[in-house]
Structure 1
Amino acid sequence: MCFALVAHDARKDELVEWVRHNKSYLSDVRIVSTGTTGGRISESFPKLAVTRLKSGPLGGDQQIGALICEEELDALIFFVDPLSPMPHDVDVKALTRLATVYDLPMACSQSTADLIVSGLCGQPTA
């Protein structure tokens, strides 16, 4: 099982807290993440298997997109900040489009992320 975890700057703390709340589900999941987000997750949870890609605006979003196209991901958790200007809005739209085309479960909020992780991972491990 492989999940991509991505968060905009204003939502990185929220994603780290979501991982904390769901780490028992994620203990057996391979995680790929864009640069800074992956660094924050790795620092907070060194036992999780996290592969850091490039920073989102520097190509990390495209790397996630390529993983979607190669059908390497089981879910995309992307905490987007809808209240800030998005200089990388095209990247967000591209990931949304690819997740839709490849029928990949995608969450942009804690509620939907909780549904995805519990649905795909079943019972949390101890």
Structure 2
Amino acid sequence: MTEDQKTKCHAIIHSHAAAAAAGNVIPIPGLGIAVDVVTMTTMTMALCAVFGGSITQETAKSLAIAALKNTALKQPIKTLARELSKLIPGLGQVIAPSIAVVMLEATGWVLASELETKFKGPGGTAA
């Protein structure tokens, strides 16, 4: 990954993680997952463009769901804590967004790495 690509990925991932955090402030269990899927879908499409690729919204959504599923399976305590924390007034509005940011950041960088590999051509440039 070039420095320019890293910089672009950094901006995309951080801005989408912040958007997910904002959506996870709402104290309704389960809503955070829906917000994460929408956020990850747009983030996937934006990251794809960084590497010269193009995918449909449906493909991006599938990748986002798979990535979130993998993250949730690797970090079930964080996922459960995020959703259950929403039941605690006040505290839930701090914990849920914080966990969402951590999970989306991690998932975003994994996705960026996978997309870089996927769109890298035989000569080392995006296909």
Q: Same fold (TM over 0.5)?
A: no
Alignment TM-score, normalising by the size of structure 2: 0.28
Higher RCO, Cα 8 Å, sep 6+: 2
Judging by fraction of residues, say which structure has more helix.
Answer: 2
Larger Rg: 2
Give the alignment's TM-score, normalised by structure 1.
Answer: 0.28
